[in-house]
């Protein structure tokens, strides 16, 4: 259990520290609400770290697993190069922290009693194991694993397989074979998804937030997906966060909002093709809005949005089309 908690710390909590400072500042400490930045930080920061791991394995192949693990957990601290006003920053309320710990322990007991059996998840795990054995991410038109004959038919970004790769790297450092974090990620994101819905509607009134959170939690598809070991809840969380930032950009224009939106659009593309398609669609609509409203520096801003989208995740699909499986064009 200690290793599981350490992995949760390295995967979620440590990258979330700078993420929390960033989002608290971004939301301008609105309503003295620490829940919203906490949720965004916990949900988005690990995906940013996975992106850094992806680039590291793509460019600097074959380094020591320790280097990759350190890069993963510490890279979000790059955000702190921006000088944030931390004078009004408050530590997340203790009830949230206690609630999170109780939930994490419940997930531990659930995940440790169930085998990994889901078809897609096993494929992601095999791809993650393949990356770990080669200590590299690479593209090929025929994703055939010569070591065992497996053929990776997945067409999505590598974020989820890379969680498995990362966990094997941590395991190598601690001489363990546990994959509890890989199994637990989905349920942890299920909680984050419900709390995200709650946190976003709370400012309108508690009853709206509670109603939406209860309806979502009672929906059979949510219950079914939350109890699987899959990427689904991670995808749903990032997708919803991206849509919320998309709405923010449509309703209130600022360069920072535009860039944060494009970055989150890119990050959620790293998880699934649907996210990539949705991100491209949303970016096209945002650019359309810049032109309809005849915004200042619209060309420059459009260029920046596209660069951010690609850098933060869409790069995978471009590389896959050019030197990989061909993605949706095949």
Partner 1 sequence: MDIKVKQEVMFKYILGLSVVLITLVYFIVTTSYSGIPLTDAENRGIETPLKLWLNGYLGVFFGFKSNGNIIWLLPLLLLFAWPKLKQSLSVKLFLTFYLLLFVIIAVKGYINGRYQFTLVPISIMGIVLLVKELFEEKLQQKFFYLLIAFTLFNTLYFTALDFWPRYKERLFNMVNKTETNNTQQLDYITFINQNIKEEEWVLVNNLPEYFYYTNRKGLFCWTGQDVVYTAYGEQKLMNQKSDEELINFLVNQLNCQYFFTTIQLNNYHPEFTAFLERRAELVFNDHKKYLIYKFKE
The window from 58-66, 74-82, 221-229, 259-267 that contacts partner 1 (CB under 8 A) reads: 221-229
Nearer to partner 1, 13 or 163 (CB): 163
Nearer to partner 1, 53 or 240 (CB): 240
Which of 24, 18, 27 is closest to 245 using CA atoms?
27
The window from 19-27, 68-76, 241-249, 305-313 that contacts partner 1 (CB under 8 A) reads: 241-249
Contact letters for partner 1, residues 169-208 (x by CB under 8 A): ------------------------x---x--xx--xx-xx
Q: Which residues 6+ apart lie within 8 Å of 60 measured at CB? A: none
- The Cα–Cα gap between 128 and 179 comes to 12
- The Cα–Cα gap between 320 and 326 comes to 6
Q: What share of residues in the chain are helix, strand, coil (percent, to 5)?
A: 75, 0, 25
Residue from the set 14, 278, 290, 315 that interacts with partner 1 by CB under 8 A: 278
Angle among Cα 242, 244, 249 to the nearest 5 degrees reads 90
Our finding on whether 225 is near partner 1 (CB under 8 A) is yes
The window from 18-26, 31-39, 111-119, 305-313 that contacts partner 1 (CB under 8 A) reads: 111-119
Our finding on whether 224 is near partner 1 (CB under 8 A) is yes
Enumerate residues 131-160 that contact partner 1 by CB under 8 A. Answer: 141-142, 144-146, 148-151, 153
Q: Which residues 6+ apart lie within 8 Å of 190 measured at CB? A: 222, 225, 226, 233
The window from 32-40, 99-107, 238-246, 256-264 that contacts partner 1 (CB under 8 A) reads: 238-246
Our finding on whether 323 is near partner 1 (CB under 8 A) is no
Under DSSP, is residue 124 helix (H, G, I), strand (E, B) or coil?
Answer: helix
How far, in whole angstroms, is CA 225 from its chain's centroid?
A: 17
The window from 72-80, 99-107, 280-288, 303-311 that contacts partner 1 (CB under 8 A) reads: 280-288
Kind plus residue range of the DSSP H or E element containing 143: none
- The Cα–Cα gap between 290 and 293 comes to 5
How far, in whole angstroms, is CA 214 from its chain's centroid?
A: 24
Which residues are near partner 1 by CB under 8 A?
116-117, 119, 122-123, 125-126, 141-142, 144-146, 148-151, 153, 193, 197, 200-201, 204-205, 207-208, 211-212, 214-216, 218-225, 232, 235-236, 239-240, 243, 246-247, 250-251, 274, 277-278, 281-282, 285, 288-289, 292-293
């Amino acid at each position: 259990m200690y290793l599981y908690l350490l992995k949760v710390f390295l995967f979620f909590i440590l990258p979330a520290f700078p993420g929390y400072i960033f989002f608290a500042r971004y939301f301008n400490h609105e309503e003295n609400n620490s829940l919203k930045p906490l949720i965004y930080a916990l949900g988005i920061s690990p995906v940013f770290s996975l992106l850094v791991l992806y680039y590291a394995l793509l460019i600097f192949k074959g380094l020591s697993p320790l280097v990759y693990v350190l890069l993963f957990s510490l890279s979000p601290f790059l955000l702190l190069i921006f000088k944030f006003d931390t004078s009004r920053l408050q530590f997340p309320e203790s009830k949230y922290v206690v609630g999170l710990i109780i939930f994490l322990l419940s997930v531990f007991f659930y995940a440790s009693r169930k085998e990994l059996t889901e078809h897609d998840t096993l494929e992601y795990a095999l791809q993650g194991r393949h990356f770990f054995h080669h200590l590299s991410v690479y593209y090929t038109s025929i994703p055939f694993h010569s070591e065992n004959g497996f053929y990776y038919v997945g067409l999505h970004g590598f974020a989820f397989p890379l969680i498995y790769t990362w966990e094997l790297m941590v395991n190598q450092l601690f001489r363990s074979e546990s994959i509890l974090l890989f199994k637990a990620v989905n349920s942890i994101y299920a909680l984050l998804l419900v709390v995200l819905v709650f946190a976003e509607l709370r400012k309108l009134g508690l009853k709206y937030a509670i109603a939406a959170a209860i309806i979502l939690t009672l929906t059979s598809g949510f219950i079914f997906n939350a109890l699987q070991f899959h990427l689904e809840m991670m995808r749903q969380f990032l997708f919803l966060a991206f849509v919320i930032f998309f709405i923010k950009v449509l309703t209130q224009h600022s360069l920072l909002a535009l860039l944060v939106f494009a970055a989150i659009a890119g990050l959620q593309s790293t998880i699934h093709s649907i996210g990539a398609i949705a991100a491209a669609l949303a970016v096209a609509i945002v650019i359309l809005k810049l032109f309809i409203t005849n915004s200042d520096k619209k060309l420059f801003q459009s260029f920046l949005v596209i660069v951010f989208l690609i850098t933060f995740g869409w790069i995978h699909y471009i590389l896959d089309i050019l030197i990989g499986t061909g993605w949706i064009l095949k």
